[in-house]
Structure 1
Amino acid sequence: MAVVFFWCAALLLLHTYFFYPLWLFVFEGVAQVFHNLRAMRRGERQLPERTPAPLPSVSLVVAAYNEASCIRQKLENSLALKYPANRFEVVIGSDGSTDGTDELVRACTDSRVRLSPAPRAGKTTVLNRCIPSAKGDIIVLSDANTMIEPEAIQALVKHFEDPDVGAVCGKLRLYNPTKKDYEESAYWNYESLIKFYEGKRGAVVGANGGLYAIRRTLFTQLPPSTIVDDFVIPLRILEQGYKVVYEAGAVAHEETTEDYGKEFGRRARIAAGNFQSLRMVPGLLLPTAGFPAFAFWSHKLLRWCAPALMAVALLANLFLLDSVFYRLTLFTQVLFYALAYLGKTGVLKGTGRRIASMAYYFVTMNMAIVVGFWRFLRNAQKAAWDRTARA
């Protein structure tokens, strides 16, 4: 039984972190081969040129709670985006801000900016209020502390020429002003690569709140208790049978935090919201959903089970020490957790410090999942969010 438990846990962990990305590469390679074969059969015949569709109207919706420190910069950034002014608006949904955020938005004289204030009730309530009332056919969602590159909106919008596309996820680049090799960057790049290849299959599993776009008509009202709206909204669109794609050319930038306590709390909050989301998208749990279900199980559900799988692998390994192979696997696991501890202390230097720091990041990320699951079971995670302090 110990052997069965060990290998089940190990293979599931390997699948979610290594084998699943490899499957995505294989799927894309096969798809490219078939595409080339079809092109060869067409020979030199050229497809008729398509007349570019007119640009749709766009509403940039930003939920803001006490963002006085960055809301002016956000407005300047939003109004500088390269998109026709007569087809673009910025909607700031203030969630009961008390620090002067509303006054700063009202001070903006550009007619494209509209403030939608209301008493504090949580980000989900802000979106439920602002998205249906927005004028744009396409809703672009972003955070107040996320700065968008000028061409990003047009890069997102071009995908909606395909009527099967319901949402487009942009590329969020995280940066740390004081640490060049911030440990989250490697993991974030890994996650972005997975999203890129999921997008090739039309099944990006969740977006990042910093930058993504949806068709307004596909938005459905969320329960006010929803914790991770940027995860649930694209999944609901995917569940409806529409594609959710990834656009690497739509880039936004967001600063990470130096407060590891608050960062851990943010990740625990996200984890609680992830478990909560299961009852909101039941269709994606079924094999009948096809590749989206495979992606959801592989990329998300198994990740959320990773802390339990890691514990099972370690405990089962303790009963298998009569074999050299299993003594080696136990040594590898212990070494990994020792590296994580050294990553916390910061005693190593150079490459060793970076590796240890990444191990520590991985372990704390999974510890946050445990905390989030406990909050979910106790229904202790509130939907209203507190902004994460930046450097």
Structure 2
Amino acid sequence: MAEVFFWCAALLLLHTYFFYPLCLVAIDGVAQAFYNLRSTRAAKRERESKTGLVPSVSLVVAAYNEASCIQQKLENSLALDYPAHRFEVLIGSDGSTDGTDERVKQCPDTRVRLSAAARAGKTTVLNRCIPMAMGDIIVLSDANTMIEPEAIQALVRHFEDPEVGAVCGKLRLYNPTKKDYEESAYWNYESLIKFYEGKRGSVVGANGGLYAIRRTLFTQLPPSTIVDDFVIPLRILEQGYKVVYEAEAVAHEETTEDYGKEFGRRARIAAGNFQSLKMVPGLLLPTAGFPAFAFWSHKLLRWCAPALMAVALLANLFLLDSVFYRLTLFSQAMFYALAYLGKAGVLKGTGKRIASVAYYFVTMNLAIVVGFWRFLRNAQKAAWDRTARPAA
């Protein structure tokens, strides 16, 4: 029985972190082969799809006490390469008290609008702002996220396909003081998975830094929703529309040096992830097809990873009569020891980078445990706290 538990846990972990990405690559390879066989007709369809239509776009930004960066955000938004008469910036202030609203009001560009109300959480801001937006396409972004000039056009061009309901952009994280910030390796890995999921029209969730949706597909979220940027695309996917990924739509966001706040952010996201299950029940069913496979493989099994890691370790302790299982136990012990060394920061060079990744992986899964506990106790508030950033 211990052997069954060990291998079930090990294979599920391997599937969510390794086999699933390999499946995506293999599926893409087969699909590409069929596409090549139909290349002539496909090229004709591609030529005919360029209609030249320019849909109206509203960039919606939820902001809470962002006076230190809101001016930079406005300048960045107004410099985006998109026809001015088809573009607006809508700032939804969630009860800001630091002068954010005043700075937005001082912007002379008529494309900028402010919607201010008492603090109630980001979801309430989106529920208010998205229906009042003028654009057919809603681009959602964070106040501290800077978007590259061509990103909006790269996102919008996908909506020529009526089956596309949402497009996820590429968020590049950077740390001004640490060149090899450990989250970047994991983030690049996640971006690669999104890239291949996007080819199947089934990106499982977006990042709040940059993504676009059809305004008509937005449905009001419960005010208690914690991870809106996860739930909104999933609801669109559940409706039968494609959610794709655009690697050329790039935005940049600075990470925080405060590991305590970063752990809290991960735990908050984890609580929101568990909460989201009741909001997209259709994606849990096999009848949803590939989106259900992606949801289970990429997300649900990841959320179960802490339990699977514990099961693999405990089951391994009952299998020490075999040399093979003694080696697997040793490997697990070495991995956790490496994570501890990553926390201590005693290694140098390549060893330090590997240990940092191990530490990041372990703390990420600990945050899932904390988030699950908050979810069970209904202790995670929906309103988000502003992350401290340098003054502009």
TM-score (normalizing by structure 2): 0.98
Q: Which residue of the partner structure matches residue 62 of structure 1?
A: 61
Q: Which residue of the partner structure matches residue 3 of structure 1?
A: 3
Code of the residue aligned with 2:15 in structure 1: it is H
Code of the residue aligned with 2:52 in structure 1: it is A
Distance 2:203 2:157 in 1: 17
2:16 corresponds to 1:21? no
Q: Which residue of the partner structure matches residue 137 of structure 1?
A: 136
CA RMSD of aligned residues (A): 1.3
Distance 2:112 2:198 in 1: 32
Distance 1:43 1:64 in 2: 43
2:213 corresponds to 1:214? yes
The Cα of 1:54 is off from its aligned counterpart by 1.2
Distance 1:74 1:257 in 2: 18
Distance 2:128 2:389 in 1: 28
Identity percentage over the alignment?
Answer: 88
How many residue pairs align between the two structures? 390
The Cα of 1:389 is off from its aligned counterpart by 2.0
Q: Which residue of the partner structure matches residue 169 of structure 2?
A: 170
The Cα of 1:36 is off from its aligned counterpart by 1.1
Q: Which residue of the partner structure matches residue 204 of structure 1?
A: 203
Distance 1:44 1:206 in 2: 30
Structure 1: which 5+ runs fail to align? none
User: Is the 1:149–1:251 contact (alpha carbons within 8 Å) kept by the matching residues of 2?
Assistant: yes
Aligned ranges for residues 341-352 of structure 1 at < 5 Å? 341-352=340-351
2:39 corresponds to 1:39? yes
Code of the residue aligned with 1:30 in structure 2: it is V
Q: Which residue of the partner structure matches residue 121 of structure 1?
A: 120
Code of the residue aligned with 2:130 in structure 1: it is I
Q: 1:51 to 1:214 in 2, by over 3 A?
A: closer
The Cα of 1:45 is off from its aligned counterpart by 8.2
User: Is the 2:56–2:135 contact (alpha carbons within 8 Å) kept by the matching residues of 1?
Assistant: yes
Q: Which residue of the partner structure matches residue 364 of structure 2?
A: 365
Distance 1:214 1:224 in 2: 20
The Cα of 1:49 is off from its aligned counterpart by 4.2
The Cα of 1:62 is off from its aligned counterpart by 0.1
The Cα of 1:38 is off from its aligned counterpart by 1.7
Q: Which runs of 4+ in 1 moved over 4 A?
A: 42-51
The Cα of 1:43 is off from its aligned counterpart by 11
User: Is the 1:259–1:389 contact (alpha carbons within 8 Å) kept by the matching residues of 2?
Assistant: no
Could you give the per-residue CA deviations for residues 281-323 of structure 1, whole angstroms, max 9, x where no partner exists?
0000000000000000000000000000000000000000000
Structure 2: which 5+ runs fail to align? none
Distance 1:285 1:51 in 2: 36
Code of the residue aligned with 1:23 in structure 2: it is C
Distance 1:43 1:236 in 2: 30
Distance 1:187 1:43 in 2: 35
Q: 1:46 to 1:324 in 2, by over 3 A?
A: closer
Distance 1:164 1:45 in 2: 19
Code of the residue aligned with 1:344 in structure 2: it is K
Aligned ranges for residues 81-100 of structure 1 at < 5 Å? 81-100=80-99
Code of the residue aligned with 1:303 in structure 2: it is R
Distance 1:207 1:6 in 2: 33
User: Is the 1:256–1:390 contact (alpha carbons within 8 Å) kept by the matching residues of 2?
Assistant: no
